[in-house]
Chains A and B, each alone.
Chain A
Amino acid sequence: MQYYDLIFSGFGGQGILLAGEVLAHAAMLEAKQVTWMPAYGVEMRGGAANCTVVISSERIGSPFAEEPCCVFSMSKPSLFKYQGRIKKGGLLLINTSFVDPALITRDDLESICIPASEIAYQEVGEHKMANMVMLGTLVRASAVVSLGKVEEAMEEIFSGSKQKALPQMLRALRCGYAWQG
């Protein structure tokens, strides 16, 4: 049985909710059960953005993650808020363009520190695509879904009028997937 829960967190405008949605969409395309739960309202004050994604081979109960398998963090406050909750041996991804790796206090995790904004700027010419770079790295490190399905998910989400951004997004994703640190 597969059960994998993740918290995507950072500031509004970083594409946090979108990164979670792409992953959730890919899980659906793999015929898995999946939930995507955004934080909203009061929790959003101060510009924070986060969402929880649960992927499972079985029917999902709670759409929340008390002890997530993985935290995807693009801001300092979100690292402070969530790193203590990650399951032992879980995965922590931080964007070092925003978060100092020295702030990681857990040593019982697999921590991946990726300069995602720099990579996005150098490889795609758009630092805002850091979320997709991070997602690519997350997909490789967690193997929770296949890269192919994530690409397919992005093609479905960015269809019609949103298609223009797709090639850049896919490139950013693949850069993140290939990134070796």
Chain B
Amino acid sequence: MAKRRMMRGSIALAEGAITAGCRYYFGYPITPQNEISEHLSSRLPEVGGVFLQAESEIASINMMLGAAAAGARAMTSSSGPGISLMQEGLSYMAGSELPGLVVNITRLGPGLGGIAACQGDYWQATRGGGHGDYRLIVLAPNSVQEMHDLAIRALHLADQYRNPAMILADAILGQMMEPVNLEPPLVEIPPKPWALTGARGRKAQLIKSLYLADGEMEKHNWKMYAKYQRLQEAEVMVEEDLEEQMDLLLVSFGSCSRMVNSAVALARSRGYRVGHIRPITLFPFPSREIREASRRVGKVLTVEMNTGQMWEDVRLAVHPGTLCRLLARPGGAIPAPKEIFEEIEKFVRAGDHFAENIC
């Protein structure tokens, strides 16, 4: 086994990006993600890369767009308000089919909100976020190890599918230290014949998202849609902790799933038969896995640190007739394992009327 190192989530993520061959970082300070930029400001020059503190998140994302257009692996990181400013650039990157990694260490919202951990940016992340018909590839780690591993994965997926990818995490994951196995570098950056490297020995190339001719944009939208379908087929990542016989299925993601893990262990120790599905990719969403498991169990409890955003995807995914319930804690509240356990107990024992929604 490789030697484990005690690391903060933010640092593990930054090191993962370097391992993946990312050499360009553009960002603007915002709490609670500054550890990422601070770390990369010294590390990137060491590995021959460029760290640039931009004048705004709008500039950061567009610098990343330029670096990606030139064929580089590039990234930025921010938090809610900054990610909102990046939506324009993300839409252009998706439309221009440019890869790149955006890290959102979320804050509370809307508005200036606060800096505690929260999952209120789920919709913004998984619905595209900017204008137009597109998706981001969204990965949601739940440990420091995954902060590292999924940063590498996100950069690979972004290049492979020529689409921006996002790591959706929060201050719990960014600030926490856990032991990490740092994988030996195994980096394959796919060739990028489309990159703007100068028209040497080839025709001039163009990266654009403007389509004015009749029917051109529809064709482009369908092409992108087909790409998102391929992602749905091939790239779903999910952690399933299921039992043969189950009274209840829980669904949660990110830091919140850690509290659910504790609640599941507690429930099992008290004799409850519960399963837990944790989407690791939020887009593509593990709809098939949730449908299959819900068909066997009939009751699904979604736990989130928002007012119920992923719950919509869960309800779209479940087997018809499934009883659904939501335990939601927005605004920086963290559902305690005990609180989740009590909800499990009630839902398992209760009749159908306890469900908030029958799908």
Contact = CB atoms under 8 A, between A and B. Distances in A.
| Direct A–B touching, Cβ under 8 Å | yes
B177 A35 contact: yes
A25 B177 CA distance: 10
Contact of B172 (A21, A28, A63): A63
A28 B179 contact: yes
A45 B258 CA distance: 27
Contacts, number: 64
B171 A41 contact: yes
A38 B175 contact: yes
A34 B178 contact: yes
Contacts of B6: 21, 24-25, 28, 34, 36
Contacts of A60: 258
Contacts of B260: 61
Interface string B260-274: 111111000000000
B336 A61 contact: no
Chain B interface extent, by class: 20 to 34
Contacts of B177: 21, 24, 35-37
Nearest to A31: B4
A61 B337 contact: yes
Interface in A138-160: none
A12 to B, nearest CB: 15
A40 interface: yes
A135 to B, nearest CB: 16
Which DSSP category, helix, strand, loop or mixed, fits chain A's interface?
mixed
Interface in B4-60: 4, 6, 31-32
B116 A42 contact: yes
B124 to A, nearest CB: 21
A27 B311 CA distance: 37
A28 B4 CA distance: 8
A34 B178 CA distance: 6
B153 to A, nearest CB: 20
Contacts of B318: none
A64 B176 contact: no
Contacts of A66: 336-338
A81 interface: no
Interface string B166-206: 00000110011111000000000000000000000000000
Given A28-B4, A59-B261, A41 B32 contact: yes
Interface string B231-273: 0000000000000000000000000001111111100000000
Contacts of A21: 6, 177
Given A59-B261, A61-B259, A62-B261, A40 B338 contact: no
A84 B336 CA distance: 17
A106 B178 CA distance: 32
A15 to B, nearest CB: 16
B114 interface: yes
Contact of B259 (A28, A37, A59, A62): A62
| 7 A-B pairs with the lowest CB-CB distances in the bound complex, closest first | A61-B262, A61-B261, A36-B177, A62-B262, A41-B115, A28-B179, A62-B259
Given A28-B179, A61-B260, A62-B337, 9 more contacts: A21-B6, A21-B177, A34-B6, A35-B177, A37-B175, A42-B114, A42-B115, A61-B261, A64-B259
